[in-house]
Amino acid sequence: DQQVKQNSPSLSVQEGRISILNCDYTNSMFDYFLWYKKYPAEGPTFLISISSIKDKNEDGRFTVFLNKSAKHLSLHIVPSQPGDSAVYFCAAHYYNQGGKLIFGQGTELSVKP
């Protein structure tokens, strides 16, 4: 049973516009969430995280929003740039289980010039 779900396998956005990537989860014991970005032939790299006690975290062009009642989080990229084209993974951390993460399936973002 997939505890972290990214229901959109792909997303295409025009350069300069907003990209919104979505993630749903089922386990209320997750205590924080992370987004990773992956380019082809490279490993995933950490992008941004949010604690379950927050509803928003912002870092430059990247903002993550958390809606605990809906068990939903989203990553906003504004403005989108062609270099943002990559696969984005949402991940969730179990409370009190060390460093274990549960990853979603990933969403491939394509930003067109």
Partner 1 sequence: DADVTQTPRNRITKTGKRIMLECSQTKGHDRMYWYRQDPGLGLRLIYYSFDVKDINKGEISDGYSVSRQAQAKFSLSLESAIPNQTALYFCATSDEGQGSTDTQYFGPGTRLTVL
Residue 105 in the binding site for partner 1 (CB under 8 A): yes
Q: State which of residues 21, 63, 77, 106 lies at the interface with partner 1 (CB under 8 A).
A: 106
Smallest separation, CB 88 to partner 1 (Å) = 11
Would you say 14 or 27 has its CB closer to partner 1? 27
Would you say 19 or 106 has its CB closer to partner 1? 106
Q: Give the alpha-carbon dihedral of 13, 14, 17, 20, to 10 degrees.
A: 0
Site map 47..76 versus partner 1, x via CB under 8 A: --x-x-------------------------
16 sits in which H/E element: none
- Beta-sheet strands, E only, within 1-113: 4-5, 10-14, 19-25, 30-38, 45-51, 56-59, 62-67, 72-77, 86-94, 101-103, 107-112
The CA-based angle 69-70-72, given to 5 degrees, is: 120
In the complex, the residues that contact partner 1 under the rule CB under 8 A are 4, 6, 9, 31-32, 34, 36, 41-46, 49, 51, 89, 91, 93, 98-106
